[in-house]
Structure 1
Amino acid sequence: MTTKASQFEVHHNGVTISVSRGGRGRPLVLCPGLLTTQADLHELTDLLRRDYDVTTFDLRGHGLSTPADEYTFEAFLSDLDAVMTALEHRSPLLVGHSLGADLAVHYAAEHPGTVAGLVLVDGANPTPEPFLTDADLPDFQAMAEGLRHELEPVKGTPRQVLLNPHDFLDVNLQVEAVRSGILDLYQTIDQPIHLIMSTSMAGTSDDARTRWRNQNWRAGIERLVRERPHVTTSWLDADHRLVLTHAPEIARLICDTQMPRTLDRC
């Protein structure tokens, strides 16, 4: 059995970040992605807490964390930084999904030697071609507007997301810009890195644009592995929601990831 999770808050730069910690074993910090909350990740978190002392949290404007005046990549990175600073963990395994994966890479690059390793789930991908081009903006704008209706029912709950469609689109554009230089950051990280990627990140539609996006996604990881051969990769037959749909497989892959020998095996 796992220990009951404790709840606490981290206050920084005018926002309050909701954090939970529970489990047993080596420390692990789980960073959610954009539009994803701790509540959404409950299945994965519960599985990991069987073998790890897991800390997870809600980014600003998500879940039980408070809204903010700005939603930028740097602001979200400051949320992760504040949580890591507040913890007593020494060299945790840092796991991030989507935007959370990019935040994890930046944190590890900016704070060398502070994490035992990285597990990056469907994010932080140095794709050879931009994933979001001018031609894609209408699709993403429509997606953002669709999310407005999807998120309405969960407002006021642990699954609430307070970003508006403009925020969603703007953060995606920022992530696109950040990923254009992320290959260089990988060069600065000495800790083990394992990526868990979806085969259908852009979905399973058979239209030409979706096929291209999925091919570009795979090409980015192939590019990364060529540049950093020690980076290991697992592929799941899933789309970008894999942290929700394939939690047991992801937990097993995280547990099986080869980290320094000081880390306990599951």
Structure 2
Amino acid sequence: MGNMQMVPVDDTALAMTDSGGSGQAIVYLNGAYADQRPWRPVIEALGNEYRHIAYDERARGKSKQSADYSFEGTLRDLDAILEATGVEKPILVGWSYGATIAAHWAARHPDRVLGVVMVDGAMPYGLTGEEGQERIRKLFHKMRFILPLARPFGMAARMSAAMHAEVNIEINEIVDSVDVELDQVTCPVRYVLATGSNLGGGEEEMEAARASLDPVLERNPNIQVSAKVPSNHSKILKKDFKAVAQAVRETIAAARQDHKLHNN
């Protein structure tokens, strides 16, 4: 997809691939413990008329480790990537955790983003409070021996099970109130939603999460659902990459339409 380079930020460095070219820049934001590899089918489906930029978060993929795995750190990572590439108005495409990064970044920088695609993430529903935290810690404690084995496949980070859990606890708190950011977003936003279950969350719970979007859709006309697909949360980029690519095209078309209306 392009050459990999290391982008320094804070106490670490991020592995980034950039296809280059003069097309509209699309920046891909990964799931919580994933690397950039799951985006390949989407990138191939969109083709070389766009500039594709993907990167691994701290301690994921080929990126270096850090003393800070906070959500605020991930927002600084996106700043560093945009600065390193010189991209001014990207389309942000986020899956799961990455969708919440996109929502927060777009709310904070309304003039610096062209549009956002949310892939089964950034829904205002989280496991919060002591009970939720306990459940998350137990789940990752159970998975502690599996995580190192999942790492080469881009499904776990180079951090302990306890650190994985803390990242998850923080994102659940943040996503629980992401409707605040979604209400502020002024660019076109398109969602691609799965219909199946998720690791640690049954089908019923995931449906409740997706239903939490309904009031947001009613309040903010910039936000629409592009597609609901039959995949589950973890397989959506692999199985329904065409729907994600289509949502990207729709978002770009909507942003251009907005631009035309404002300039007339």
Query: Does residue 35 in structure 1 map to residue 28 in structure 2?
Result: no
Contact 1:32 1:96 in 2 (8 A): yes
Q: Distance in 2 between matches of 1:147 and 1:23?
A: 38
**1:42 aligns to what SS in structure 2?**
helix
Match of 1:16 among 10, 13, 17: 13
Contact 2:31 2:97 in 1 (8 A): yes
Q: Distance in 2 between matches of 1:202 and 1:132?
A: 17
Q: Which moved more, 1:61-70 or 1:82-91?
A: 82-91
Q: Distance in 2 between matches of 1:101 and 1:201?
A: 18
Q: How many angstroms does 1:85 deviate by? A: 2.0
Q: Distance in 2 between matches of 1:256 and 1:249?
A: 10
Match of 1:82 among 80, 83, 87: 80
Q: Distance in 1 between matches of 2:139 and 2:155?
A: 19
Q: How many angstroms does 1:37 deviate by? A: 0.4
In structure 2, relative to structure 1, the CA distance for the partners of 1:142 and 1:89 (3 Å cut) is: same
Structure 2 residue runs without a partner (length 5+): 259-264
1:153-168 matches, within 5 Å, as: 153=149, 155=151, 161-168=157-164
**1:260 aligns to what SS in structure 2?**
helix
In structure 2, relative to structure 1, the CA distance for the partners of 1:231 and 1:159 (3 Å cut) is: closer
- Between the two proteins, the alignment pairs up a number of residues equal to 254
Q: Distance in 2 between matches of 1:157 and 1:200?
A: 22
2:244 is matched with which residue? 250
1:195-206 matches, within 5 Å, as: 195-202=191-198
Query: Does residue 112 in structure 1 map to residue 105 in structure 2?
Result: no
RMSD between aligned residues:
2.6
Contact 2:11 2:67 in 1 (8 A): no
Q: TM-score, normalised by structure 1?
A: 0.84
1:57-136 matches, within 5 Å, as: 57-127=55-125, 130-132=126-128, 134-136=130-132
2:182 is matched with which residue? 186
String of CA shifts for 1:74-103, please: whole Å, max 9, x gaps. 112211121122222231111111111111
Q: How many angstroms does 1:253 deviate by? A: 2.8
Counterpart of 2:72, as a letter, is: E
In structure 2, relative to structure 1, the CA distance for the partners of 1:262 and 1:8 (3 Å cut) is: farther
1:212 is matched with which residue? 204
Contact 2:128 2:173 in 1 (8 A): no
Q: Distance in 1 between matches of 2:165 and 2:147?
A: 15
Q: How many angstroms does 1:43 deviate by? A: 2.4
String of CA shifts for 1:18-60, please: whole Å, max 9, x gaps. 1101165311111112111012332223333433210000000
- Structure 1 segments, 4+ long, off by >6 Å, are 156-160
**2:77 aligns to what SS in structure 1?**
helix
Structure 1 residue runs without a partner (length 5+): none
Q: TM-score, normalised by structure 2?
A: 0.85
